[in-house]
Amino acid sequence: MAENGTFEIVDRDGLARIARFQTPHGIIETPGVMPVINPNIIVLSPGEMSKLGMQALITNSYIIKRTPELAEKALKQGVHSLVGFDGPIMTDSGTFQSFVYGGIEYTNKDMLDFQKSIGSDICTILDIFSTPDDSFTKAQYAVEETYRRTHEIKDDGTIYAGTIQGSIYPSLRKRSARIMSSSAVRYLPIGGVVPMLESYSYANLISAIHSAKMNADFSKPIHLFGGGHPMFLALSVLAGVDMFDSASYIKYARDDRILLQDRTVDLSDLERMPAWSPLADRYTINELRDLEKEEKTKALATHNLFAIFSEISEIKQRIAEQSLRRYVKGKVRSHPYLKDAYLKFLGYKDVMHFESYSRKASFYYTDVEDRKDPIYSRLRNFCLAEIAGRDEDIVIVDDVLVSPVLSLESDLVHAYENSSAIFVKNWNGIPVPMEMWDTYPIQQSISSFSGRRSNMLSTLSKIFPGRSVQKMRDRLGVRLPEGKRRFDLEKIRMIARYQFSTDGSSMIFPDESAIRTSKKTDRIRTVSYGEDLIATLRASDGLLTFTSAGAKLLDLALPGLKCRVMVSDESREFNLQGKNVFFKFIVRSDKEIIPGNDTLVVDQSGKLIAIGKATVSGKEMRYFKRGVAIDVRSGLGQSGN
C-alpha cells in the first residue's frame, strides 16, 4: 500500500486531475467533496451519505474538544467511531470559530495534539483567517503566523493540512502557497474564501485559486475550504482545485432551499422536482412542503448532497474525456459573475504549460473566447512564427478548394511541391500552413459559422506588410514561384518543429527519409530512415510518436536537457530494458516538457537510454515522489534496439 499522504495522478485535463490520495482510512479520489458534519447534530448519517457518493467527510475538532461528552468518546474510541464512519476523516481546527469569537481557548499545539489523539486522517493547523476586507498588513500577518505554526508539527507520519491565506492579494497568496508547500504539511487548503463565495466575488476567488495553485507543491492536493456549491465546482477544478468541503447541503436545507446544478431555489418557488433528484419518486412538491421540519430538512439535505455529488461525477467524466473546458464554458453562463471569473481565468497564460498538444475530445470553436484556449494560443503562436520566419509568397487556400476538385492527393500537393510559396488556410482566424492541416485541433474540430468568417487576406496583409498575399483561386492557372520540395517530408518536419520547439527538424527527418502512406486515406502513417522505422503519425491527432531509432535522431537534434528527463544510476538499467520511469529516480528534467508528449530519457552522463510519454508537465515533474513520470515506450537496451 502507498505511504499515507501520497498523491498519484490517474487522469488529467490541463490543471484538472483525477488522482488518488492515500490516507490511513483509505483512498480519497479527487476531485471530491467532503460533507461537513457537526458532531452534535448529525442530520444525515455517514451511511446515508455514502450511498449518495460520499467517500470522505470533515468535522470540527474544536467542537468535539470543547464538548466534554464528545471529547471523552473521541479520545476513547476515536473520531471514526464518534461519527460512525470508517472512511477518511479530515478535522478542522476551530479557525473560523476563532475568527468569529476573536479567539478560542486552545493553542495551535493543543488542537494538533487533540486531532492526532482522536485518530483524524487529516489534521488541520489552527491558521489565521483572513477576509477580503483585511488590509495588506493584516493579511500578511495571517500568512506569516500561519506558517510559523507549521513549525509545531511533529514529523510522525501524520497528514497535516496547512491553509494558504492571503486575502485578495495575489502576492500574499503566492508567498503563502510557497512557504506552506515548503513546510511539513502534505495537504493544502485555500482559506478565507467563504466571504468571497457569499458575496459572489468569483473573480477575486479565481485569482486566489490561481495564485495559490501556481505556487504550490503540485504533488499535494489543493482543497478549497467552503467551496461546495455545484455552480462553482467545475470552474474551480479547471483552475486546479482537487478537493472541496460543503456545509451548504445542510444550511440550505434548513432554510428550505434546494441546490440545483446552476443555482439555488427556494422550495416555495419550486414548481416541480428535477427528475434526477432522489426525492422525485418519493414526494410531490406539496408533500415535500408539508413535511414536519426535521423530516423536511433531512429530505432536502439528501437532495442537496446528491446534487453536489452528481456534479462531481460529471466533472470527473469531463476530465476523463478531456472536455472540461467545454463544460465550464457552458456552466459559467448561469451567472454574470461566474462569467467574469472565467474570463479572468482565460487571461492566465501560464496554464499553457499544463496542456497537452491534443485532447481526446474534439475542439469546439464557438466564439472569440476560444482563442484564449491554450491549444489555440499555442497553435496560433507557432503558425505565425513559421510564416514570419520565411520570405516566400503567401497563398490562401479557400475551404471550398480543399475538395475533390482540388484535393490534397492531387492538384494542391502538386502545386505545393512545384512552388516555394507558403500555402495556408483560415482556421478560426489562424493562417494554418498546409503542412499542419491534419494536426490537432484543425482536423479534429467543430466550428460555428461565425468562427469561420474571417478575412484572412486582410489579416495577413496587416501582420506581414510588404509580403505578397493572394488567394489560391486567383493563382489557379497562373505560374507560381518555382520550387521543388516534398510535401510529405516538409509536413512531418513542421509537425516536429511544433511538438519539440526545435530548428533541427531536418536532423530528425533527413532528406533520405522514407514515408509510407495509408492506402485508404493517402495520409502519412510511418516514417523510416535506412532500415529503421523512426516514427508514426497518429491518425487520431496528426502528431508524431517516435521509436527507439527515432529517439536517437531526436537526441541528436535537441540540445542540452530539452525534452529530456535524467534518471539516477539506480534506475538506468530498468529504463534501458523498457521499464517506466518513476518520479523518485529523476535527477533533472526539462521544465518545458508538455504532458502527453514524447520525452527522452537519459542517464546521468547524458546518454540516451529510452523514450516514452510524459505523464505530467515539466513544471510538475520535480514535485512528485511517487508514481510513473514517463510511460516508457521503448528502451534502447531492449533486443532489436
Give the model confidence (pLDDT) of 253-290 as tens digits.
999 999 999 999 999 999 999 999 999 999 999 999 99
Q: What is the pLDDT of residues 108-129, one digit of tens each?
A: 999 999 999 999 999 999 999 9
Is 175 within 8 Å of 147 (Cβ atoms)?
A: no
- Give the torsion through C-alpha atoms of 240, 246, 249, 254, to 10 deg: -140
- The mean per-residue pLDDT over the stretch 42-51 comes to 94
Confidence (pLDDT) at 483: 65
Is 237 within 8 Å of 324 (Cβ atoms)?
A: yes
Using a 10 angstrom Cβ sphere, with 0-12 exposed, 13-18 middle and 19 or more buried, the burial of residue 511 is exposed
Q: How confident is the model at residue 58 (pLDDT cuts 50, 70, 90)?
A: very high
How many H-runs (helices) and E-runs (strands) does the chain carry? Answer: 26, 29
Could you tell me what percent of the chain has a pLDDT over 70?
95
Q: What is the pLDDT of residues 583-625, one digit of tens each?
A: 999 999 999 999 999 999 999 999 999 999 999 999 999 999 9
CATH of region 499-635:
2.30.130.10
Q: How confident is the model at residue 94 (pLDDT cuts 50, 70, 90)?
A: confident
Task: Report the catalytic residues.
Answer: 92
Distance of alpha carbon 246 from alpha carbon 259, whole angstroms: 12
Confidence (pLDDT) at 404: 41
Distance of alpha carbon 143 from alpha carbon 181, whole angstroms: 13
26-347 and 499-635: identical CATH topology: no
Phi, psi at 99, each rounded to 5°: -65, -45
Is 190 within 8 Å of 162 (Cβ atoms)?
A: no
Q: Which amino acid is at 22?
A: Q
Q: How confident is the model at residue 307 (pLDDT cuts 50, 70, 90)?
A: very high
In this structure, the strands spanning 16-23 and 7-13 are antiparallel
501556481: which residue's cell?
Answer: 214
Measured N-to-C along each axis, helices 324-331 and 293-321 cross at an angle, to the nearest 10 degrees, of: 140
Cβ neighbour number for residue 313 with a 10 Å cutoff: 11
What does the domain layout of the chain look like in residue ranges? 26-347, 363-485, 499-635
Q: What is the pLDDT of residues 522-536, one digit of tens each?
A: 889 999 999 999 999
DSSP code string of 282-322: T--HHHHHTS-HHHHHHHHHHHHHHHHHHHHHHHHHHHHHT
Residue 266 parent element (H or E): strand 264-266
385's CB contacts (< 8 A; 6+ apart) are none
Q: How confident is the model at residue 310 (pLDDT cuts 50, 70, 90)?
A: very high
Average pLDDT over the chain, rounded to an integer = 92
Full-model pTM:
0.94
CA-based end-to-end distance of the chain: 35
Q: How many CA atoms lie within 13 A of 279 on its CB side?
A: 27
Q: What is the pLDDT of residues 8-36, one digit of tens each?
A: 999 999 999 999 999 999 999 999 999 99
451511511: which residue's cell?
Answer: 47
Is 25 within 8 Å of 87 (Cβ atoms)?
A: yes
Convert 97-128 to b/e letters by CB count within 10 Å (16 or more is b). bbbeeeebebebebbbebbbbbbbbbbbbbbb
Confidence (pLDDT) at 533: 97
Confidence (pLDDT) at 405: 40
- The mean per-residue pLDDT over the stretch 307-313 comes to 97
Q: What is the pLDDT of residues 365-421, one digit of tens each?
A: 998 899 999 999 999 999 999 999 888 889 998 765 554 444 445 678 888 888 889
477544478: which residue's cell?
Answer: 237
- The mean per-residue pLDDT over the stretch 63-75 comes to 95
Confidence (pLDDT) at 638: 80
Q: Which amino acid is at 344?
A: K
Confidence (pLDDT) at 356: 97
Q: How confident is the model at residue 479 (pLDDT cuts 50, 70, 90)?
A: low
Confidence (pLDDT) at 450: 61
Cβ neighbour number for residue 289 with a 10 Å cutoff: 13
Using a 10 angstrom Cβ sphere, with 0-12 exposed, 13-18 middle and 19 or more buried, the burial of residue 424 is buried
Distance of alpha carbon 261 from alpha carbon 576, whole angstroms: 50
Q: Which amino acid is at 443?
A: Q
What does the DSSP 8-state code read for residue 585? Answer: G
Q: How confident is the model at residue 474 (pLDDT cuts 50, 70, 90)?
A: low
Q: Which three cell numbers stand for residue 317?
A: 467524466
SS3 annotation, 511-557 = CCCEEEECCCCCCEEEEEECCEEEEEECCCCCCEEECHHHHHHHHHH
478's CB contacts (< 8 A; 6+ apart) are none
Convert 595-616 to b/e letters by CB count within 10 Å (16 or more is b). bbbbbbbbbeeeebbbbbbbbb
Q: What is the pLDDT of residues 538-579, one digit of tens each?
A: 999 999 999 999 999 999 999 999 999 999 999 999 999 999
Using a 10 angstrom Cβ sphere, with 0-12 exposed, 13-18 middle and 19 or more buried, the burial of residue 152 is middle
Measured N-to-C along each axis, helices 170-182 and 202-213 cross at an angle, to the nearest 10 degrees, of: 40
Distance of alpha carbon 270 from alpha carbon 553, whole angstroms: 65
Q: Which amino acid is at 173?
A: R
Confidence (pLDDT) at 472: 75
- The mean per-residue pLDDT over the stretch 214-227 comes to 96
Confidence (pLDDT) at 480: 53
Is the pLDDT reported for residue 137 higher than 70? yes
Confidence (pLDDT) at 452: 59
- The mean per-residue pLDDT over the stretch 154-177 comes to 95
Is the pLDDT reported for residue 46 higher than 80? yes
Question: Regarding predicted confidence, which is higher, 611 or 194?
Answer: 611
38 three-state secondary structure: strand
Distance of alpha carbon 356 from alpha carbon 374, whole angstroms: 9
Q: Is the dihedral of CA 499, 504, 507, 512 positive or negative?
A: positive
Q: Which amino acid is at 387?
A: I
Q: Which of 396, 397, 376 is nearest to 442 (CA)?
A: 376
Tell me yes or no: is domain 26-347 CATH 1.10.1780.10.
Answer: no
Q: What is the pLDDT of residues 319-355, one digit of tens each?
A: 999 999 999 999 999 999 999 999 999 999 999 999 9
